[in-house]
């Protein structure tokens, strides 16, 4: 098992076909031709989502002056689109020097929300969850981009090992649905796995 937050490392793993199972984006797989070269097949995928700037006291504005005096919470994970990549793209589009911003990094989306709820920061960049409205107002969110394609789990299938694909799909689904985040409630299965009923017969029949 290998855990890495670096896209370059992920690309090396996929390009060489090192990983047997990998969590990645469809566009990365297509760019590396990993599906045709190493027979990676999607097993299960997470739902699409939208990135937002979220505040606890006002609706964020997408203009330069608004961000300059704000404490902004981002995810300390360079490959996160909603928590890192897209907000920095917004700042670049608005011609804002990152050094001029008061950016506070957190290790998880939950940590960002906790800091926002405690008033340690003025706004965060993340996705909107169903249970967010318990602590924040959906009137105080501003979309950063359109719909983002969710990540998918891919299995390298050198053989048509359908049983393995179905079992992996089942295990990932159980783990995902055990998480507290509502983001994991909707999953897309890419294998139609059918469980056949068991029939008990008397010996000799």
Tell me the pLDDT tens digit for each residue of 85-104.
999 999 999 999 999 999 99
What tokens were used for 114? 């906790």
Give the pLDDT confidence score for residue 18 in this predicted structure: 80
CA distances from 133 to 51, 59, 129 (A): 16, 14, 8
Strands 40-46 and 152-156: antiparallel
Q: Where exactly does CATH 3.40.190.10 map onto the chain?
A: 49-148
Give the pLDDT confidence score for residue 200 in this predicted structure: 46
Q: Alpha-carbon distance 55 to 128, whole Å?
A: 11
Q: In what order do the strands lie in the sheet with 141-148?
A: 102-106, 71-75, 123-127, 49-55, 141-148
Residue 11 has what DSSP assignment?
H
The upper half-sphere exposure of residue 152, i.e. CA atoms within 13 Å in the direction of its Cβ, equals: 23
Taken in order 125, 129, 135, 136, the sign of the CA dihedral is positive
Query: Which residue blocks in the chain are alpha helix, DSSP H?
Result: 7-16, 26-31, 34-38, 64-68, 86-93, 109-117, 162-177
Q: Alpha-carbon distance 122 to 126, whole Å?
A: 13
Q: Which CATH number applies to 49-148? A: 3.40.190.10
The model's pTM: 0.69
150-205 confidence digits (pLDDT tens): 888 999 988 888 899 999 999 888 888 787 666 666 788 888 886 544 444 455 44
């Amino acid at each position: 098992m290998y855990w890495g937050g670096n896209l370059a490392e992920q690309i090396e793993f996929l390009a060489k076909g090192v990983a047997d199972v990998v969590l990645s984006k469809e566009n990365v797989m297509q760019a590396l031709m990993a599906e045709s070269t190493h027979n990676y097949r999607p097993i299960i995928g997470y739902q699409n989502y939208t990135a937002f700037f979220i505040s606890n006291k006002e609706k964020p504005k997408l203009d330069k002056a608004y961000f300059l005096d704000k404490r902004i919470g981002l995810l300390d994970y360079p490959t996160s689109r909603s928590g890192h990549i897209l907000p920095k793209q917004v700042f670049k589009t608005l011609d804002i020097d990152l050094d001029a911003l008061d950016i506070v990094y957190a290790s998880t989306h939950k940590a960002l929300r906790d800091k926002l709820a405690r008033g340690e920061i003025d706004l965060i960049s993340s996705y909107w969850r169903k249970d967010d409205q318990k602590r924040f107002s959906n009137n105080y969110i501003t979309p950063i981009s359109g719909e983002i394609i969710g990540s998918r789990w891919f299995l390298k299938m050198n053989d048509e090992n359908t049983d393995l694909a179905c079992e992996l799909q089942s295990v990932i689904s159980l783990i995902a649905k055990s998480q507290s985040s509502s983001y994991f409630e909707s999953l897309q299965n890419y294998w139609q796995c059918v469980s056949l009923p068991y029939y008990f017969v008397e010996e000799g029949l």
